Amino acid sequence: MRRRTRLGAAVCVCVSAMAAPVAAQERQEAPAAESDALNLFFDCQGMGCWDLDFFRREIPIVNWVRDRQVADVHVLVTSQRTGGGGLLYTLAFIGRGALEGQDQELTVSTSGDATQDEQRSALSQQLKLGLVRYLAGTPAAEQIRILMGPETPAAGGAPVMPGMPPGGSGQQAARPEDDPWNYWVFTIRGNGFLNGESSFSSSNLSGSVSANRTTEAWKFNVSARYSRREQEFSVTPETTVTSLIKDWSASALLVKSLTPHWSLGVRSGAGRSTRLNEDFRWNISPGIEYNIFPYSESSRRLFTLQALLNVRYWDYIEETIYEQTEEMRLAASLTASLSQIQPWGRVNISVNGSQYLHDPDLYQVSVFGSVEVRLFRGFSVNFGGSYSRIRDQLFPEAGGLTREEILLRQKAFQTQYSYFTSFGISYRFGSIFNNVVNPRFGRGGGGEIIFF
């Protein structure tokens, strides 16, 4: 298990239920809301947080509140993908009210093949560990048991916390000398879908392979995918319309870490797309990226500027509107991206611009943004959307598209812009406590108004 402070002994924080079964039943019927109990706001923005009932059952000695404004401790959880395909969770414990200023941060990693139970168990273990300092001054301290003992060897030489299976999701990342794969991770996927009605049938087959190696100094990813989608429509007993789209693509990324703020990288790719009039294409894009914040803070905030020089080649299926059957072009692109996850919500904004060097009139500008903010107790708003000004499409066919190709979206057609928007509000009111777990007849509850 990874954390900012390494312990010389394995530690297990055990929350025991000291009350009799009758008292436990009473707690089921009436949530604990004692004034001297710790109010916890669990704000999980990462993956693996889907089962909140599990965390309530694991830690029943706190009041699980729904509003950070009434919390004694606000736990903000974020996650990032690791090079091995797993997740690195960061738990930021933020003291509020009388505990203001008593902040701490813990981390824990899970392996790429960790199950959902292993992910939530690793999170629960770190959550218990982080809460000890806040619970120590409350009556709930009597229900805490701490077991300390010598480290127990696990697979790869990592220490195991008592009560956790060897090699479980809480183990440390393997050291290079213990890793026979030398940080390489390979993934193979395949999917197939079939559905239909009396006058319609559809099949979709896809597969992909990938390999990656990620260290602090280097990052390398390579992947390939293939997809085949076929649809048949029986318009009349004598007429059947068939839509067939076949695509394949391959991509690679190589990044060198220079400093805590600077990186060098090169992207490349190749593929074929009948929808984009591509019989074959390839591209290579070297560039540089600068992060205003250190990359070590990426779980909470990122502000990057990325510049690329793109070399692109196409061999077209049909002659284009520019009378080309094949061509190679140079383009320059610049991307600015901001991402922040804070106790009040999250913000993601990116702006991208690209331009072909042979013709300044061929360019594209895209803006994307999403914001989620808690304005006051129980009330949140969210906005999202994107807009692209498109002036750089080289692929449209000179002969135009048929009505079937347009309606079935078999081929992309020329456009001047594209956009997407979303917005919503949510308001939850009533009791601030949500300690009770009752999964009968599925999940649900009242006191909530949501507009989309």
Percent of the chain with pLDDT over 70: 80
pLDDT of residue 437: 57
Q: What is the pLDDT of residues 196-214, one digit of tens each?
A: 998 899 999 999 999 999 8
> Which has the closest alpha carbon to 106: 135, 128, 84, 136?
128
Asked if residues 296 and 302 have their Cβ atoms less than 8 Å apart, the reply is no
CA–CA separation, 140 and 67 (whole Å): 21
CA–CA separation, 12 and 1 (whole Å): 13
> Which has the closest alpha carbon to 397: 281, 319, 313, 315?
319
Mean pLDDT of all residues in 109-135: 84
Of the spans 300-304, 415-419, 446-450, which averages the highest pLDDT?
A: 415-419
> Which has the closest alpha carbon to 416: 437, 436, 396, 393?
393
Backbone angles phi, psi at 36, to 5 degrees: -95, 5
Is pLDDT of 306 > 70? yes
Higher pLDDT, 6 or 366: 366
Q: What is the pLDDT of residues 142-197, one digit of tens each?
A: 777 777 655 444 333 333 333 333 333 334 444 555 668 888 889 999 999 999 99
Assign 223 a pLDDT band (cuts: 50, 70, 90): very high
Q: What is the pLDDT of residues 11-40, one digit of tens each?
A: 455 554 433 333 334 433 434 444 577 888
In the numeric block, which tokens belong to residue 110?
Answer: 């899970």
DSSP class of 272: E
Mean pLDDT of all residues in 407-415: 78
Assign 364 a pLDDT band (cuts: 50, 70, 90): very high
> Which has the closest alpha carbon to 391: 351, 359, 350?
359
In the numeric block, which tokens belong to residue 73?
Answer: 């401790």
Higher pLDDT, 21 or 233: 233
Assign 48 a pLDDT band (cuts: 50, 70, 90): low
Residue 5: left if φ>0, alpha if ψ -120 to 50, beta else—which one?
A: beta
